Amino acid sequence: MHWLRSYVTIHARAILRFAVATAAVCILAASPQPATESNLESQAFLEFRQHVQDYLKLQRSMPRLRTTKHREEISDRRRALARQIRETRSNAKPGDIFTPEINAAFRQAIRSAFQAAPNVSKTIRQGEPITTWHPRVNRDYPEYLPLTTVPPTLLLHLPQLPEELAYRIVGRDFVLQDIEARVVIDFIRNALP
């Protein structure tokens, strides 16, 4: 009788371990997955990171005004930096950063995020993305417009940006913005489904 109880206990534990492992696999398969390391290390994303670093070298090479806490001086400094960026990048055009290959990789990552987590579009709609203003390279992101942020679920699928830059959503367009200068660096038209 004792051997029968041991036999049942051993098999019950094995069945329980199998059930827990199966449940864990099902839960992981059903939950939204961030981009894998191989996706984030794709050639297109590596090229994007290089374009971002090149832009930052240019931005950081510009003369800086002294730091201040006065609102007017902060605005003046931002406008001066934006003017310098526009002058230095006077020939900048859509696709300089988001080249066709990078554009395609971002569109795929965005599509993947929307498929993996249907709540992404709901989160974006709640943030009231702007639909009346259209981005242009080297154009100021207007101060009167809210800075629509990208949901974390979508950010997990995209390359991480340095603190000087941010992704923005404008209607269905996906924008890369210089935060301090509030300048549109590049954008992908109709990137969001």
pLDDT tens string 20-40: 344 333 333 444 444 444 555
| Distance in angstroms (rounded) separating the CA atoms of residues 18 and 39 | 31
Give me 130's structure tokens: 């702007």
Alpha helices by DSSP H, listed for the chain, are: 2-30, 37-40, 43-60, 71-88, 100-116, 119-126, 152-155
| Distance in angstroms (rounded) separating the CA atoms of residues 113 and 35 | 8
Total number of residues shown for the chain: 193
**What does pTM read for this prediction?**
0.72
| pLDDT digits 0-9 by tens, 39-68 | 556 899 999 999 999 999 999 888 766 666
Q: What angle do CA 80, 58, 37 make, to 5 degrees?
A: 125
| pLDDT digits 0-9 by tens, 80-94 | 889 999 999 999 999
Residue 139, judged by CB atoms within 10 A of its CB (0-12, 13-18, 19+), counts as middle
